[in-house]
Amino acid sequence: MSYFSVALAAVVFIVLWFTHRIYQFINLHFLIPTPSAQLRRYKPESSEPTSSRSSNASEPVTWALVTAASGGIGYGYASHLLSLNFGVIILAHSGVPTAISRLLTKYPNASIKGVTMDSITATTSDISKLVSSIENLAITILINNVGSMPMEFPHLRPFAEYTTAGIDDTMNLNARFMTHLTRALLPHLTRNAKTLGCRSLVLNVASGARVGLPYVTLYCATKGYVSSFSHTLTREFKYLNSPIDCLLIVPGDVHSDGNCHGVAKGSPRALEYGKMVLERVDGAVQRGLLEVSPYWVHALQIWMLDRLPESVRGRELARVMEGKRGAYLEAYEKAR
């Protein structure tokens, strides 16, 4: 074979590979299943499709447990799950009753249960009791959404200025709680999937910040933990032929209760983002992905960030974080 033929074959291969990647990207981010097809694999075959259920349908067969669901993106997950006729268990710290009444205004016949629990201080015994209290519900979806930077202002600060409580609280909230909750709920997710003849789902929420940003060391580090934890579970479930799917969500900037200053222009709002995530879960799971950034702009940003030379990447990330820190400082001064 001549050099020319080898070069031509290489070019054709690269073009085909890129075309395939672009096709996959468009397919995943823009070809959304209809509501009646969304998350169907986490309901029994016999359950009626969303569109055909009457408004006063009886108790739903399948439930989802969503942590940090009284506000922010978690509220968006809860709202979209209710629109798909899942029952939803809302776990949060203080705003559970208000969130339930807001959701019931939107979905008057919805099945919602509330759990008030502080994910920072909850003990393993609290988590076991919680799981026992809901084990009679056919839960097939767990969304490990809780995560933040639980520190007094300024919560964006150099690592040297972290308090010991700030370190422990961030690790407890972002990593410890979801680890114990997942382990405690796995037997139920497995049993429910087998009994109902469907699959179960664990969604874990990381962040593009796992790349490592100045001023939020522990947040980034715990999101790195969540990423590795989730990838491992996905592989282990497949290897052990478990009836549970596991997927990592990697958001970029989203305008939420917790992230409301210095948010990048054009970022989605929490409610719309929650829906956007759940609409893309089926596509990601069917492709066997370990993770997905459901908003296409985030996916491109993260893809490009990974390919920048470190000299450029480090400078850009620092610039973004200085902007965010400045925005929080300004809001803090205004509120005083």
Ligand X SMILES: NC(=O)c1ccc[n+]([C@@H]2O[C@H](COP(=O)([O-])OP(=O)(O)OC[C@H]3O[C@@H](n4cnc5c(N)ncnc54)[C@H](OP(=O)(O)O)[C@@H]3O)[C@@H](O)[C@H]2O)c1
Least Cβ distance, residue 292 to ligand X (angstroms):
13
DSSP string, 66-122: EET-SSHHHHHHHHHHHHTT-EEEEEESS-HHHHHHHHHHHSTT--EEEEE--TTT-
Per CB under 6 A, residues contacting ligand X are: 68-74, 92-95, 118-120, 145-148, 173, 205, 207, 251, 253-254, 256-259, 270
- For ligand X, give the closer residue by CB, 69 or 185: 69
Q: Please tell me the distance from the alpha carbon of residue 272 to that of residue 260, in angstroms, as a whole number.
A: 15
- Quote the Cα angle for 316-321-327, to 5°: 130
Phi, psi dihedrals of residue 245, rounded to the nearest 5°: -95, 150
- For ligand X, give the closer residue by CB, 79 or 148: 148
Least Cβ distance, residue 44 to ligand X (angstroms):
29
Cβ atoms of 290 and 247 within 8 Å: the answer is yes
- For ligand X, give the closer residue by CB, 46 or 123: 123
- For ligand X, give the closer residue by CB, 188 or 255: 255
Least Cβ distance, residue 98 to ligand X (angstroms):
8
Least Cβ distance, residue 4 to ligand X (angstroms):
48
Least Cβ distance, residue 23 to ligand X (angstroms):
27
- For ligand X, give the closer residue by CB, 71 or 294: 71
Least Cβ distance, residue 229 to ligand X (angstroms):
13
Cβ atoms of 114 and 130 within 8 Å: the answer is no
- For ligand X, give the closer residue by CB, 98 or 286: 98
| Cα Rg of the chain (Å, integer) | 21
Cβ atoms of 65 and 141 within 8 Å: the answer is yes
Query: Structure tokens of 134?
Result: 């809901």
